[in-house]
Amino acid sequence: MRMTAAAGVVCVLALGGALGCSSTSVDKNSADGSAGSNGSNGDPATAGSGSGDETGLQLTVGPDSRTFVELSTPSVLSDVAGTGNGSIAWDIALQGHDVFTNGGISGPGNSSAFGPLSSPTYLSDTAPDVPLMLKDRAGGALIDWYKYAGATHQLFSRYHVYGIQDGERYYKLQILTYYGEQLGAPVSALYRVRYAEVTASGVGVVHDVKDIDATAGGSQDNDKLPSACLDLDSEQATPLTPADAAQSNDWQLCFRRESIAVNGGLSGPRGMQAVDLQAADTASETAMDVQARTAASEQKLFDGVDYAALTDPALSYAADGIVTAFGQRWLEPGSDPLALSDSVWLVIGANGASKYLMQFSSLSGDPATGPATLSLQAKSVK
């Protein structure tokens, strides 16, 4: 049985003022990955090479406050403070291991992002086709329930089992599919899940619920449109907007496009928490591994979770905080010293229109424990 204690979820609950940062151009081809002139005398507005309007930026990131970046140059915005909620000048912000976008719950702009994309994506002058763009939102333990297949733009469930804690009650949950049918046509964001309450006396009725409507306007993120918020006892799904859900005790799980929230922390007032029982497997799971799994093949994993497994003191249950498209995926899992993943991100600017490809190119230090030097590259694409 693939069961391990969960790693911490991507979650930020306290944020400070902006770090003072300096910026220089980045020569990604230098032998040590350090900053270089790149023929620009250190001016990030003229640094860079290759296709598109590509430039490099070196900045300082730390654990105690956000560092704000606009991507058109790119450059650090030293005059933006706090959480950046009063400014639409920034596109991304960095703090510790988190990368925020200026949209959704993190800022007043219309920024969004998608990734990770393969490294060769950065060579393109055109924004890649992606299934959706993600604004920052409330969420937590279920952030990595899927594996993205870049070739087909599909989301495949990892079939992990999640522990859900609602007061003194415990449930186990498994996501079976993200796709359903309407009028005979395949539709994304129509979930099928199975879950059961688990007590010290045993496992209760296993619920298999289909066609949970999380479409919420399709790939366009419109917070005024409702999505399905599920009551686990009745199997009743109530359509709620994120704002309505955040004020309601009458649900336990909310499904909104690719995002699944529990009613606790920033998602709602009920005080619920969740944990991914197979979180430690996520980094090593390949697309081939995940796509080979089915509801039938992973039934045994689901059935094997009992009360002792859900109440294991080693598990780190957590309420929902801020989740972003970046998550922790921009870092190489398990690296020591901390290293960057070889990933590319599509970012929509805070104006809701500008498109950028972005990648991180070097890291010195750990921004979660103290000031670290981070280099990134960004370029405009069509």
Instruction: Give a yes or no: residue 316 inside a domain.
Output: yes
> Are 144 and 64 in a shared domain?
no
> Are 229 and 342 in a shared domain?
no
- Residue 61 makes CB contacts below 8 A (sequence gap 6+) with 19, 67, 94, 95, 96, 367, 371, 372, 374
Quick one: pLDDT at residue 323? Answer: 86
Buried-exposed string 116-127: b where 16+ CB fall within 10 A, e elsewhere: bbeeebbebeeb
DSSP category for residue 221: -
Quick one: pLDDT at residue 358? Answer: 97
> Are 159 and 70 in a shared domain?
no
CB atoms within 10 A of CB 84: 24
User: Domain range for residue 155?
Assistant: 137-323
What the block records as the tokens of 350 is 């805070």
Q: Which of 323, 344, 364 is the last residue of a domain?
A: 323
Quick one: pLDDT at residue 23? Answer: 36
Instruction: Give a yes or no: residue 332 inside a domain.
Output: yes
> Are 253 and 205 in a shared domain?
yes
* Counted domains in the chain: 2
Instruction: Give a yes or no: residue 36 inside a domain.
Output: no
> Are 163 and 304 in a shared domain?
yes
- Residue 25 makes CB contacts below 8 A (sequence gap 6+) with 35, 36, 37, 38, 40, 42, 43, 44, 46, 47, 48, 55, 56, 57, 58
Q: Which of 282, 304, 323 is the last residue of a domain?
A: 323
193 neighbors 167 (Cβ within 8 angstroms): no
Instruction: Give a yes or no: residue 4 inside a domain.
Output: no
Kind of pairing, strands 259-262 and 273-276? unpaired
Quick one: pLDDT at residue 219? Answer: 60
Quick one: pLDDT at residue 241? Answer: 92
> Are 121 and 182 in a shared domain?
no
> Are 127 and 276 in a shared domain?
no
> Are 274 and 314 in a shared domain?
yes
What the block records as the tokens of 188 is 């994304």
Quick one: pLDDT at residue 128? Answer: 94
Residue 202 φ then ψ, to 5°: 145, -170
Quick one: pLDDT at residue 283? Answer: 82
> Are 287 and 350 in a shared domain?
no
Instruction: Give a yes or no: residue 23 inside a domain.
Output: no
- Mean pLDDT by runs of 10 across the 382 residues of the chain is 38 33 35 34 33 73 97 95 95 96 94 93 94 85 88 89 98 96 83 98 97 80 86 96 94 93 95 96 91 97 98 96 89 90 96 97 95 96 96
Instruction: Give a yes or no: residue 162 inside a domain.
Output: yes
Quick one: pLDDT at residue 328? Answer: 86
Beta bridge partners of 253: 230, 262
> Are 264 and 217 in a shared domain?
yes
